Amino acid sequence: MHLAGVYRLTLSRVAAILVSALMETKMPRTRGSLPIALSLILSVSLAATPIWGNSSLGSGTIVFASGAHLGTAAVTVGATVFAGDKLETAQTGSLQIRSGAARLVLKSSSRIIWGADGVHPSATLTGGTAAFSTASANAFVLHASTAAFKPQSDEPTVANVTFLNPKELVVRCTRGAVLIAVEDDVRVVPEGMAYHVVLDPEAAAPSGATPSPATPAAWGQNQPIKAGKSKFIWYAIGITALVTGFALWEALESPDRP
258 located within any domain: no
Amino acid identity of 43? S
Judgement on whether residues 39 and 3 belong to the same structural domain of the protein: yes
**Among 105, 100, 104, residue whose Cα is nearest residue 120:** 100
Domain boundary among 9, 24, 53: 53
Under the banding of pLDDT at 50, 70 and 90, the label for residue 211 is low
Judgement on whether residues 20 and 90 belong to the same structural domain of the protein: no
144 located within any domain: yes
Judgement on whether residues 1 and 108 belong to the same structural domain of the protein: no
Judgement on whether residues 236 and 127 belong to the same structural domain of the protein: yes
Strand pairing partners for 144?
A: 125, 147
Judgement on whether residues 160 and 226 belong to the same structural domain of the protein: yes
The number of angstroms, rounded, from the C-alpha of 75 to the middle of its chain's C-alpha atoms is 17
How far is Cα 253 from Cα 222, in angstroms, rounded to an integer?
31
Judgement on whether residues 125 and 233 belong to the same structural domain of the protein: yes
Residue-wise pLDDT tens digits, 219-231: 444 343 333 568 8
Judgement on whether residues 208 and 134 belong to the same structural domain of the protein: yes
Judgement on whether residues 73 and 179 belong to the same structural domain of the protein: yes
Judgement on whether residues 127 and 215 belong to the same structural domain of the protein: yes
pTM of the model: 0.68
Domain span holding position 201: 60-252
* Residue 36, pLDDT score: 52
Judgement on whether residues 2 and 31 belong to the same structural domain of the protein: yes
Judgement on whether residues 37 and 64 belong to the same structural domain of the protein: no
% of residues, the chain, pLDDT over 70: 60
Domains held by the chain: number: 2
CATH code for position 204: 2.60.120.1440
* Residue 238, pLDDT score: 73
